[in-house]
Structure 1
Amino acid sequence: MIIRRWQESDRPFLRTLYLRARKSSWTWLDSSAWQLEDFDAVTLGEAIWVAEEDGHRMGFASVYENDNFLHNLFVDPDFQGRGVGSALLKHAQSTFTHTGALKCLSLNEGALKFYQRHGWHVEAQGVSPQGDYLLMHYVLKP
């Protein structure tokens, strides 16, 4: 598996992956208004990396680099449980210059456990249009 910077030619696939993965993971939300173009809006101005193996794009992560903020990490449901998310997370963490941050929806229990297994810890709680979330931090190890 390689982790590489995204290219414009990845956009159609990543749009589809983002829509499909949200529908698969965020089952408590009404997805009727979600569109392929949502990917464009949520990654605007972010660094995006793609996990790929044997020509298959398996997932992506996007980061606000100046803030060390992991904004998105989504794995195609067909490739979950194969280390794709871990590889993307490790790569994102390698770009941090100080403590990393992310917000995870409270009802997304699988994602919360995933981040906690990788050393992230809860710092605060908040509310977003998608529901309650937990603000999580990752402290760089010297």
Structure 2
Amino acid sequence: MSDFSHDSQGEDILVARSAADDILGFVSVWAPDAFIHMLYVRREWRGMGVGKALLAALPGWPERSYRLKCLTRSTEARLFYLCQGFVATGCGTSPEGDYEELTRLRIA
């Protein structure tokens, strides 16, 4: 079982909230490497721009080049990242399964 506070230690965390202050999603980033560790949007809010807004709130977005690992079985997440301008730059295997490394190249 994962421990969020342990897994995100030292990371910057941005939270998306509704007008009623409900948590809609979050993104955690290891800033020194511009590495997106976790991005999560509650299922009922997916497709409504929450994930895109979380990415846009990252420091230096869109000029800074961010990267992440996306499990290959997470087809919905992979499609989301590709639509946001990420491209496949590598692949590997982790205890969670096979993944692609995706990188969003700088936009000048």
Task: Say which structure is richer in strand.
Answer: 2
Structure-1 residue corresponding to 2:8: 43
Task: Say which structure is richer in helix.
Answer: 1
| 1:65/1:95 CA distance change after superposition, 3 Å | farther
Question: TM-score scaled by structure 2?
Answer: 0.90
Larger Rg: 1
Percent of matched pairs sharing the same residue: 35
Q: State whether residues 55 and 61 of structure 2, in contact with CA within 8 Å, keep that contact through their aligned partners in structure 1.
A: no
**How many residue pairs end up in the alignment?**
107
> What are the ranges of 5 or more consecutive residues in structure 2 without an aligned counterpart?
none
Could you say what the CA RMSD is over the residues aligned between the two structures, in angstroms?
1.7
**What are the Cα deviations for residues 104-125 of structure 1, in whole angstroms up to 9, with x where unaligned?**
0010000000000000000011
Question: TM-score scaled by structure 1?
Answer: 0.70
**1:52 pairs with one of 4, 11, 17:** 17
Runs of 4+ with >3 A deviation: 93-98
| 1:45/1:95 CA distance change after superposition, 3 Å | farther
**What are the Cα deviations for residues 31-85 of structure 1, in whole angstroms up to 9, with x where unaligned?**
xxx35xx211221110000001211110000100000001110011222221111
Structure-2 residue corresponding to 1:68: 34
Distance 1:96 1:102 in 2: 15
